[in-house]
Amino acid sequence: MTKLTVLYIGPDSSDVAVHRRIDGLEKSGAKVIGFSFGRSGPTADRKNSNIHFLGRVSDGNMGARLRGLWNAVGILKAHATSFEDADVLYCRNLDMALIGLYVCWRTGQKLPLIYEVLDIHPLTARSDLIGGLLRSLERVVLRKARLLIVSSRRFLTDYFQKIQSFYGASYFLENKLPLVNFSNEVDDRQLDGKPLTIGYFGKLRCPESMRILTRVAVENPKSVHVRVGGYAIPAVQSALAELLKLPNTTDLGPYQYPDDISKLYEGVDLNWGLDISGGLNGKLLLPNRIYEGGALGVPMIAQEGTETGDYVVNNELGFLIAPPYEKTIQSLIDGLSDETLKNIKVIIREKDPATFFDLKDHVELINYIRNRVVGIR
């Protein structure tokens, strides 16, 4: 069987999703030629020998972003032989797809395009001129794409179908963990007056979550501990700094995925899953934290009326809260007994490992691409 060769263009070489996709494809039998930007920040220098560096781009700096994209076009054109060797062009996010298509056009390559979306960018959801322009550009990409890959079914139904009128080929690929040897023993530690630990990990991008957790920590100085870890985007850093002024908080900082996940969640009682500041994206996404916490038996606190909340309820993975969040989370904390916490942890631990781990997801994806996108055997 001919090995599938994938030319992958990603937005951020420090993003765990970039490495998860490249590693998942390679371990499932594909050859990956990877290209990615590096975003300035505490985890931006993470290296992967399979990724060609397209340059460093800062969060929130549109001018630098546009210059970086133009420079990346030159780098990609210099790797024209990589386009010639590939069977398929796999681009995550709108800007990566646009430069990938442009380079294909300039180099005369006609690679089938796979467009992957793991977040609905706030700019594309805006109702102003900028939002309209970006959606128009995205519709160009969608017309060119042979396959759209989404990490949440509601991205497809509530955004791509409802807003972008896209009804082409699509594929649902969850943000599951690669298979890792985590302990399967239930953490049955009793609180018995010990602080309840709430963990908020990953890409920290919700200022409102930081403010709520700060209020919870202030109101419960002896009975609640808040633990955070990961990369905080600039819009969150001031709120995070306020949170970390409190003595009952801990910042674990950047971590390696998936190696540090077990240590990250050790001793955590509740997994924070709200993305209140995320607009449309926050309502529709399924975050990494669902799978990370679920794999370790840590119940999630999720937002009512969101895809994350529906997933948590349907799979018995935790608790829902609704506005006003400061009051409803306090009610949850006050009413949470050792028995309730242990029981839900047992339920989570008894789930099929395929709920949280990628057992064959990338193998199935490669087979789909072979048969339905590229047509090679």
Same domain, 303 and 260: yes
Give 71's contacts (C-beta < 8 A, 6+ positions apart): 54, 55
Task: Taking residues 283-305, report their average pLDDT.
Answer: 97
Q: Look at residue 185 and tell me if it is in a domain.
A: no
Q: Could you give phi then psi for residue 217, rounded to 5 degrees?
A: -65, -40
60 band by pLDDT with thresholds 50, 70 and 90: low
Q: What is the sign of the dihedral through the CA atoms of 138, 90, 77 and 34? A: positive
Is the same domain home to 235 and 302?
A: yes
Dihedral over Cα of 137, 138, 142, 147: its sign = positive
Phi–psi pair at 116, nearest 5 degrees: -110, 135
Residue 19 located in a structural domain: yes
* pLDDT the model gives residue 318: 98
Residue given tokens 């931006």 in the structure block: 44
Q: What is the mean pLDDT of residues 233-261?
A: 95
pLDDT-based confidence at residue 44 (cuts at 50, 70, 90): very low
pLDDT band at 48 (very low <50, low <70, confident <90, very high): low
Domain shared by 311 and 269, yes or no = yes
| 76 and 115 belong to one structural domain | yes
Domain membership flag for residue 173: yes
- Sign of the CA dihedral 315, 203, 278, 142? negative
Residue 285 and residue 136 share a domain = no
Q: Rounded to whole angstroms, how far apart are CA atoms 18 and 115? A: 14
Q: Is there a domain that residue 186 lies in?
A: no
d(CA 131, CA 124): 5
* 187 falls within a domain: no
- The C-alpha atoms of residue 303 and residue 274 are separated, in whole angstroms, by 6
Looking at the structure, do residues 221 and 132 belong to the same domain, yes or no?
Answer: no
Contact (CB, 8 A) for 221 and 247: yes
The pLDDT-based confidence of 278 (bands split at 50, 70, 90) is confident
Residue 188, in any domain of the structure: no
Classify burial at 368, counting beta carbons within 10 Å of its beta carbon; exposed 0-12, middle 13-18, buried 19 or more. Answer: middle
pTM here?
Answer: 0.94
Residue 41 reports pLDDT greater than 50: no
106 sits in which H/E element: helix 94-107
User: Is residue 189 very low, low, confident or very high in pLDDT (cuts 50, 70, 90)?
Assistant: low
**Is the confidence at residue 192, as pLDDT, over 70?**
no
Lowest mean pLDDT: which of 12-16, 157-161, 211-215?
A: 12-16
Q: Are residues 276 and 224 in the same domain?
A: yes
Please, which pLDDT band fits residue 30 given cuts at 50, 70 and 90?
Answer: very high
Region 209-215: what's the mean pLDDT? 98
Instruction: Please state, for a pLDDT cut of 70, what percent of the chain lies above it.
Output: 92
| One domain for residues 321 and 363 | no
The CB density around residue 354, as the number of other CB atoms within 10 Å, is 11
| Inter-helix orientation angle 129-144/94-107, to 10° | 50
Check if the beta carbon of residue 203 is closer than 8 Å to that of residue 273.
no
Model confidence pLDDT, tens digit, residues 134-170: 999 999 999 999 999 999 999 999 999 999 999 999 9
* pLDDT of the residue at 191: 64
What's the pLDDT score for residue 59? 66
DSSP state of 354: G
Decide if pLDDT at 108 tops 90: yes
The answer, yes or no, to whether residue 350 has pLDDT greater than 50, is yes
Q: Which domain holds residue 325?
A: 196-355
Domain for residue 190, yes or no?
Answer: no
In 10 A of CB 165, how many CB atoms? 9
Predicted confidence at residue 188, as pLDDT, reads: 59
**Closest by Cα among 318, 322, 310, 313 to 294:** 318
147 close to 369: Cβ distance less than 8 angstroms: yes
**Number of domains making up the chain:** 2
Read off the CATH number of the domain in which 210 is found.
Answer: 3.40.50.2000
Residue 342's Cβ-side half-sphere holds a number of Cα atoms within 13 Å equal to: 10
Q: Residue 56 — pLDDT band, cuts 50, 70, 90?
A: confident
- The whole-angstrom separation of Cα 45 and Cα 305 is 37
Residues 70 and 144 in one domain: yes
Is residue 189 situated within a structural domain? no
Q: Are residues 167 and 230 in the same domain?
A: no
Mark whether 369 and 335 lie in a shared domain: no
d(CA 199, CA 143): 41
Per-residue burial over 3-39, b = 16 or more CB atoms within 10 Å of its CB, e = otherwise: ebbbbbbbbbbbbbbbbbbbbbbeebebebbbbbbbb
Same domain, 39 and 101: yes
